[in-house]
Amino acid sequence: MQLAFAEALVRPTSCSRRPPCDSDRPRACSPGQRALRRRGARGFTLPELLAVVVLIGILAAAASPSFVSGMRDRRVNRTAMEISGIYRLARYQAIGRGTAVLVRWTASTGELQVRQAQIDSTPAGPMIAKSCLSVLDWMNAAETEPVTTFHTEGIELASMQLLDPTGAARADADVCFTPRGRTFVRYDPSTGFAPLLGALRVNVTNTRTGLLRSVFVPPNGVARLGL
């Protein structure tokens, strides 16, 4: 009896198999594989970019008040440092030049004005340096000359106040430094000077945040910032 056999199964040889996709040769990949590669390497979509922009805006708006407050506090710190530097400059100027130097505080105008006494010279003798007590009028150009002026009135959100050693606020105060390093003070331009026996204090306050920086002028005249 003769048996009929089906055709022999033809197994695919290695030549008929589909070659694997080579990442370095994108053309060898099938369309489906290329779509998967494109989907995995795509960039950000428009909604994602908008979400990032909105998040950055929210963070910037939240940080803005603290940033502005920090800027104002730094402005107050810088003002206090400049006031301390003015008193130090006057003292060094008096010692280095050998004549009296005055720092006048006027609360009504918010000014710190530095003036130095002129040195008189005699034809037959040496030059004579004037002291704090020998100058009759510190605003007289014949006796004194300006050194520098610091305006505090235009500084944003910063208020200045000068306190005497007892803690009382003074609208006017003249601090005079002698060539020997002594410090004199008066609170009325029409009266005479007296030795500074305590520390003057200049308060610089941020009216928005309440930050307070104080400048101290001790009897030795070396101004410093309070901690």
pLDDT tens figures, 90-104: 999 999 888 899 999
Q: What is the pLDDT of residue 127?
A: 57
Higher-scoring residue by pLDDT: 4, 163 = 163
Please tell us whether the domain made up of 47-225 is placed in CATH 3.40.630.10: no
pLDDT category of residue 5 using cuts at 50, 70 and 90: very low
Q: Return phi, psi of residue 119, to 5°.
A: -95, 125
Higher-scoring residue by pLDDT: 193, 120 = 193
pLDDT category of residue 197 using cuts at 50, 70 and 90: very high
What mean pLDDT value characterizes the chain? Answer: 79
Two tokens at 181?
Answer: 């390093």
Q: What is the pLDDT of residue 134?
A: 85
Specify whether the CB–CB gap between 94 and 179 falls below 8 A: yes
Q: What is the pLDDT of residue 178?
A: 92
What global pTM score does this model have?
0.68
Q: What is the pLDDT of residue 39?
A: 57
Pairwise CA distance, residues 177 & 93, whole Å: 9
* Among candidate residues 85, 118, 101, 97, the one with its CA nearest the CA of residue 174: 101
Q: Is the per-residue pLDDT at 46 higher than 50?
A: yes
Pairwise CA distance, residues 129 & 145, whole Å: 14
Which letter, b or e, does each residue of 2-32 get, where b requires 16 or more Cβ atoms within 10 Å of its Cβ? Answer: eeeeeeeeeeeeeeeeeeeeeeeeeeebeee
Instruction: Determine the average pLDDT of the residues in 122-140.
Output: 74
The enclosing H or E element of 101 equals strand 101-106
Specify whether the CB–CB gap between 185 and 194 falls below 8 A: yes
Pairwise CA distance, residues 187 & 173, whole Å: 4
